[in-house]
Amino acid sequence: MAFELPKLPYAYNALEPHVDAKTMEIHHSKHHQAYVTNLNNAIAGTDAEKLSIEEICKNISKYPMPVRNNGGGHFNHSLFWTIMAPGAGGEPTGDLAAAINSAFGSFAEFKTQFAAAAATRFGSGWAWLIVKDGKLAVSSTPNQDNPLMDVAEVKGTPILGIDVWEHAYYLNYQNRRPDYVTAFWNVISWPEVAKRFSAAK
């Protein structure tokens, strides 16, 4: 069964002014679609066709580079669309808020560490909030790698991620990646992140 581009759970312009409609449209309908198409081509006729994208990521060292790049691209963007929402932002509550305070000291300190991971990832990649051995941690990965992958420097289950490839922000923010990262706090769906946190624990 071939992988498919998931439908965006909101309109392309729903995250404005933080993420502009044109960026969302190209990002979802062109970039993510290309990862899905290229992943399907790369695994056609192999056993990987029977696996979930998570299963493929967890054993990614066994696959050729096109599976790593496009499979990672498919997993990462599928997560990315769902952890953003219109009218979102604010702060997490409940167990997730407690876990953030426990791991980082405060929500403000978590924001500082996450923004630093996003800003200092050289070139293209992602910054993450992950569950690692039952605790929260911040990490980043190059290209379309992710913390599920057996090749990741820091492994865990990602519950929040920000795409820092230029295609994610260049139309609106040009070279100002830190401004895009600052705007990202306004579109994070903490209820969705909390759901992923509960599932990952």
Task: For residue 145, state whether it binds Mn ion (rule: CB under 5 A).
Answer: no
Q: Which two tokens stand for residue 163?
A: 């795409």
Q: Which is nearer to Mn ion, 165 or 173 (CB)?
A: 165
Question: Closest approach of Cβ 165 to Mn ion, in Å?
Answer: 5
Question: Closest approach of Cβ 80 to Mn ion, in Å?
Answer: 7
Q: Give the pairing of strands 125-132 and 157-163.
A: antiparallel
Q: Which one, of 65, 82, 90, 68, lies nearest residue 28 by Cα?
A: 82
Task: For residue 192, state whether it binds Mn ion (rule: CB under 5 A).
Answer: no
Please, what's the b/e burial string for 40-76 (b: 16 or more CB within 10 A of its CB; e: otherwise)?
bebbeeeebeeeebeebbeebeebeeebbbbbbbbbb
- Identify the DSSP state of 48: G
- Identify the DSSP state of 138: E
Q: Which is nearer to Mn ion, 163 or 192 (CB)?
A: 163
Question: Closest approach of Cβ 2 to Mn ion, in Å?
Answer: 21
Question: Closest approach of Cβ 105 to Mn ion, in Å?
Answer: 31
**Stretch 22-51: interaction string toward Mn ion, x if CB under 5 A:** ------------------------------
Give the residue, chosen from 57, 79, 152, 163, that forms a contact with Mn ion under the rule CB under 5 A.
163
Binding residues for Mn ion, rule: CB under 5 A, are 163, 165
